[in-house]
């Protein structure tokens, strides 16, 4: 149910943004900006929920979910649609709204970026993902090898990855990677570590406690051994980064599950906990912590927490929170 609510709220925001942009009524623009902000706050809250909404009462007491938002969600739960959105769509230029939606769909293709999408829409006048794919396959539009892979797996990558699937994939990876070197430690980060129900892709961090600092040759050797092992097992299907160094990007297929995107990064152990913190997120938490670090005379990023040029060795994420005088948050508490 959460995915349907998220989809409808996303479209409601797009419609209201379009109406605001095209209106000449300054009062309407101001009022609609408040409405959009409220919808975006609610959407962010819903995206960060760790359980599926089945009853509107489950939202009682949650910040950012007022009566108007609850009424909309309740209608979606009961009818699987939102009359407000349907009515608005009757009164706008559907061609322009479709253009917004097509842009979002094109950006979902692996390798496709904002500049290229604008070129597709404004120069090639693309009206659908299918039209774009047909033009590429008929060699009317030249694209990178990464976009070719994105097209190849587009229909298989449309849906988010359920948490249970990632857990089973992690178990498999732990077993297979330990056969290469049992001192290797791995961790899946992102929304999975924040206990979310679904994730867009799999973000795997790899380290070895004896490799404290950056050593490109060692890192490349370990990543290449992992990639070879997973290719030999037919777990890896296609490589976005065929010449992997300390980072690999590609496509996987495990057991009966669909094709998924995976990133594998080697992290020197001195950077391990800062990297876990960074790649776990959320983005808003990372920004808040970086700003607090700056105020206290530190620099915080995925490579470490620095005092001047010195990278401070920390043995847990909690140590970083303590250094920055911030109350420690468990991963599932970082969804904001």
List beta partners, residue 247.
265
For 46-79, give one letter per residue: b (16+ CB within 10 A) or e.
Answer: bbbbeeebeebeebeeeebbeeebbebbebbeee
Domains of the chain plus CATH, in order, are 2-90 (1.10.150.110), 94-156 (1.10.150), 161-267 (3.30.460.10), 278-333 (3.30.210.10)
* pLDDT tens, residue by residue, 80-134: 999 999 888 877 665 566 777 788 889 999 999 999 999 999 999 999 999 999 9
With CA atoms as reference, report the closest residue to 48 among 33, 59, 35, 37.
59
pLDDT at residue 94, as a whole number:
57
CA–CA dist 169, 264 (Å, integer): 13
Residue 160 is predicted with a pLDDT of 87
pTM as predicted: 0.80
Whether 232 contacts 147, CB under 8 Å = no
Residues 6+ apart with CB under 8 A from 31: none
Alpha helices in the chain (DSSP H): 2-22, 26-47, 67-79, 83-90, 94-107, 114-122, 129-137, 145-152, 163-178, 190-193, 216-232, 272-280, 283-295, 317-323
Token readout for 53 is 């909404």
Run means of pLDDT, 10 residues per run, the chain, 336 residues? 90 88 86 92 85 89 89 96 89 65 90 94 92 96 96 90 96 98 98 92 98 93 97 97 88 97 98 98 94 98 97 97 98 89
What pLDDT sits at residue 335? 83
Structure tokens at 85: 């959105």
CA nearest neighbour of 58 among 38, 78, 74, 41:
74
Which pLDDT value is given to residue 170? 98
pLDDT tens across 210-245, in order?
Answer: 999 999 999 999 999 999 999 999 999 999 998 778
| pLDDT score recorded for residue 242 | 80
**Residue 64's pLDDT is what?**
78
Q: Would you state the pLDDT for residue 187?
A: 99
Q: What is the DSSP code (8-state) at residue 249?
A: E
């Amino acid at each position: 149910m959460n995915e349907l609510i998220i989809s409808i709220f996303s479209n409601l925001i797009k419609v209201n943004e379009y109406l605001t942009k095209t209106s000449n009524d300054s009062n309407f623009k101001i009022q609609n900006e408040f409405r959009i902000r409220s919808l975006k706050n609610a959407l962010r809250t819903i995206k960060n929920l760790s359980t599926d909404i089945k009853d509107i009462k489950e939202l009682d007491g949650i910040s950012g979910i007022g009566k108007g938002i609850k009424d909309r969600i309740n209608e979606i739960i009961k009818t699987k649609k939102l009359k407000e959105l349907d009515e608005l769509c009757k009164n706008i230029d559907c061609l322009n709204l479709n253009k917004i939606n097509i842009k979002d769909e094109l950006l979902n293709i692996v390798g496709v970026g904002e500049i290229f999408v604008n070129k597709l829409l404004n120069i090639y006048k693309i009206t659908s993902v299918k039209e774009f794919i047909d033009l590429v396959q008929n060699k009317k539009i030249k694209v990178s090898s990464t976009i070719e892979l994105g097209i190849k797996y587009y229909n298989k990558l449309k849906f988010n990855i359920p948490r249970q699937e990632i857990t089973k994939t992690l178990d498999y990876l732990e077993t297979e990677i330990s056969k290469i070197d049992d001192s290797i430690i791995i961790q899946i980060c992102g929304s999975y570590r924040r206990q979310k129900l679904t994730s867009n892709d799999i973000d795997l961090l790899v380290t070895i406690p004896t490799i404290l600092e950056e050593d490109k040759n060692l890192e490349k050797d370990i990543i290449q051994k992992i990639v070879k092992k997973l290719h030999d097992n037919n777990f890896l299907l296609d490589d976005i980064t065929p010449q992997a160094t300390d980072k690999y990007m590609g496509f996987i297929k495990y057991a009966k599950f669909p094709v998924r995107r995976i990133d594998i990064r080697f992290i020197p152990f001195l950077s391990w906990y800062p990297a876990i913190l960074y790649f776990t997120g959320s983005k808003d938490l990372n920004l808040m912590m970086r700003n607090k670090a700056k105020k206290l005379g530190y620099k915080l990023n995925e490579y470490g927490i620095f005092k001047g040029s010195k990278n401070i060795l920390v043995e847990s994420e909690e140590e970083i929170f303590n250094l920055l005088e911030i109350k420690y948050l468990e991963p599932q508490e970082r969804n904001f």
